[in-house]
Structure 1
Amino acid sequence: MSLDTVVEDIRDEARARAEEIRADAEAEADEIVEQAEADAEETIEEAKRAAERTVEQEREQKLSSAKLEAKQMRLEARRDVLEDVRERVEDALASMEGERREELTAALLDAASVEFEDEESVSVYGREDDQDLLADVVADYDGYEVAGVHDCLGGVVVEADESRVRVNNTFDSLLEDVWEDNLRDISNRLFDEEE
């Protein structure tokens, strides 16, 4: 074998080995690129899922916030309506006249008088516009006198100095009691709600 042949064999072997290394490197490079593309695809998919979750959370938060705001607006509107109804009732009580007013005032004084059966001197207070009416109603009770004005819609405040008892039978106090006791029913009727 000649030296040229040996050199040629070594070159052929080196070329073959280089071709094999190049083929392995290309295969490895292809594998790395393929893995990188798969990783990139997974990263993109995860980013899409995260974005969708974020969008869904923001949508839910905005929806929840809008529902809460709507509920608050509804409650505020209901409060306004209830206030308006109460004001109308107060106006109706304040403007009540004639026999009906006299009957109610007398009934309230009669109910209060139970507390003052043993008293010799009882003071009765009422609305300024009702002073003449009170004088007529009080005339039926011994020891009772109209003692002054009380800021109210009507009715009576009765007290006796001896016993330090004071009974507030004004339209205002009765309205307050009725209003508080029946507010749920009033609201349900106004807004057509079932219990």
Structure 2
Amino acid sequence: MSLDSVTEDIKEQARARAEEIRSDAEQRAERIVEEAEQEAEEIRRQKESEIERQIEQEREQRLSSGNLEAKQKQLAARRQTLEEVRERVEDALVNLDEETREELTRELIEAAITEFEDVETAEVYGRSDDEALLTSILEEYDSFEYGGETDCLGGVVVESDASRVRIDNTFDSVLEDVWQESLREISDELFEEQ
């Protein structure tokens, strides 16, 4: 074997080895690039998923906030409507015709005086516009006299210092009782879900 052939053989081995190293390096580089691309893809998917979750969460929060605001506005509107209905009822009570006002006032006095059977005297208070009516009705009762005015829609407040009893039979108190007992029914009637 000649020196040229040994040299050529070494060069050939070196080229083969260099080719093998280059090939291995390329394969490793390809794997590294592939792994990096996979890792980048995974990071991208995670970020997309994270962003989608954030978007969904923000959407849910805004939707929830919007629903809450709408419900608050709806409740405020319902409260306003109920207040208006009550004001109309109060106006109707203030503006009752004389016959109906007298009839209701008599009934309220009768209901109150049952609590004062053992009392010698009791005073009856009412709306200032009802003084003549009350005075007229009270002439029929020996132990009861008109005591003056009280701020109310109508009806009477009867009280006696001797028994320390006070009966509030005003239209206001009756309306309040009826209103509280019937509020759900009134609300259902006014705001019937369609």
Compute the TM-score of the two structures, normalised by the length of structure 2.
0.96
The answer on 1:19 being equivalent to 2:19 is yes
Greater CA drift, 47-56 or 102-111: 47-56
Partner in structure 2 of residue 7 of structure 1 = 7
| Aligned pairs for 1:20-59 within 5 A | 20-59=20-59
The answer on 1:184 being equivalent to 2:184 is yes
Partner in structure 1 of residue 170 of structure 2 = 170
1:58 Cα offset (Å) = 1.3
Q: Which amino acid in 1 is paired with 2:72? A: Q
| Aligned pairs for 1:50-129 within 5 A | 50-129=50-129
Greater CA drift, 175-184 or 59-68: 59-68
Gaps of 5+ in 2: none
Partner in structure 1 of residue 146 of structure 2 = 146
Q: C-alpha separation between the residues in 1 aligned to 2:186 and 2:136? A: 35
1:95 Cα offset (Å) = 1.5
1:122 Cα offset (Å) = 1.0
Q: Which amino acid in 1 is paired with 2:50? A: A
Q: C-alpha separation between the residues in 2 aligned to 1:34 and 1:164? A: 96
Compute the TM-score of the two structures, normalised by the length of structure 1.
0.95
Q: Which amino acid in 1 is paired with 2:100? A: R
Q: C-alpha separation between the residues in 1 aligned to 2:37 and 2:119? A: 102
1:193 Cα offset (Å) = 4.5
CA RMSD, aligned part only?
A: 1.3
Paired-residue identity, %: 60
Provide the aligned length of Structure 1 versus Structure 2.
Answer: 194
Q: C-alpha separation between the residues in 2 aligned to 1:9 and 1:190? A: 105
1:105 Cα offset (Å) = 0.5
SS of residue in 1 equivalent to 2:158: strand
Q: C-alpha separation between the residues in 2 aligned to 1:57 and 1:74? A: 25
1:51 Cα offset (Å) = 1.6
Gaps of 5+ in 1: none
Deviations 1:17-43 (A, max 9, x none): 111111111111111111211221222
